[in-house]
Amino acid sequence: MRRGMLLIAWLPWLILGALIYVPLGGWKVLHGGQEGDDPALRSYGRQFAVPGFHWVVLLNPSGLASANTRLDFFEPCMIRYRGRVREIASHYSWYAWWSDDVLLEYSNPPGAPPVGVQCPDGAVFLLPGRLVRDFDARFAERVRYEKTLATEVQEAMTHAREGAAFPVDRVIQWVEVLNPAGVENFGYRVGFLDACGIEQGGTVRALATTSRGMLYAYRPDPARGFLGIGIPCPADTVFIPAASTRRYF
């Protein structure tokens, strides 16, 4: 009787421990039992095109290295527009059974090696299934308006009528670069519709109205270094803020 009561008392803690262990530390259970983390033993399901940048948490047990950095297990990294993800079909876990998350492996756009905190090829991570299932439709929509958007932005930059400048209030905010030729800063190359960070201390200024919203230009504070992680936006980076971004300046 006493042993049974002790088991009941400890049961909630055992369940909590299992929920933490499986998605975060129990990689062999999460990824696929005895298959471990050997990429050669993985089997794959559906593939999806990435429609825009997303921050993910790296689940490769030994981490991954890119050309100029190394990312460790459970560090954040960024997947980007034109990359691809494919579902890892060989794993099993209680966590995957009751959650909607999908275990994915990432590859960068062809000819665009990762730098900074961009995820290296082979990065493994979880994303909500409802998000991933919408990737292809969102990617196709973006491809349809990409050239039109570049032309419209170039026209807006050529005939810009600058408005008042607003300070960036948040420490770091990520935006999509709309400069048709991309931007470069600190040796990092950020292409059209890839992401970089605007930071506190800098300013943004309205340039023109486009069909996708107001176009803004960013200028960092020259007296401050980059405070965030990843790729900082250089001066004259132009972007259209998302609704969630606009309240930060």
Q: Region 140-160: what's the mean pLDDT?
A: 90
Query: Looking at the structure, do residues 117 and 163 belong to the same domain, yes or no?
Result: no
Query: Looking at the structure, do residues 219 and 125 belong to the same domain, yes or no?
Result: no
Residue 127: closest CA among 38, 227, 34, 48: 48
Asked if the model's pLDDT at residue 57 lies above 90, the reply is: yes
End of a domain among 98, 133, 168? 133
CA distances from 17 to 11, 14, 65, 214 (A): 10, 5, 31, 48
Asked if the model's pLDDT at residue 132 lies above 60, the reply is: yes
End of a domain among 74, 107, 133? 133
CA separation for the pair 125, 102 (Å, rounded):
8
Asked if the model's pLDDT at residue 23 lies above 80, the reply is: no
- Residue 190: which domain range? 145-246
CA separation for the pair 105, 77 (Å, rounded):
13
Token pair of 106, please?
A: 């990432």
Is 139 part of any domain?
Answer: no
Asked if the model's pLDDT at residue 7 lies above 90, the reply is: no
The number of folded domains in the chain is 2
Which residues, 6+ apart, have CB-to-CB distance to 13 below 8 Å?
A: none
- Least confident piece of the model among 29-43, 84-98, 148-162, 182-196: 29-43
Is 140 part of any domain?
Answer: no
CB 116, CB 53: distance < 8 Å: no
Is 176 part of any domain?
Answer: yes
Query: Looking at the structure, do residues 107 and 152 belong to the same domain, yes or no?
Result: no
Mean pLDDT of the chain: 81
Q: Region 188-212: what's the mean pLDDT?
A: 89
Q: What is the pLDDT of residue 22?
A: 47
CB 228, CB 218: distance < 8 Å: no
CA separation for the pair 28, 38 (Å, rounded):
10
Q: Comparing 199 with 41, which gets the higher pLDDT?
A: 199
CB 123, CB 64: distance < 8 Å: yes
Torsion (CA) 197, 139, 37, 115 in degrees, nearest 10: -30
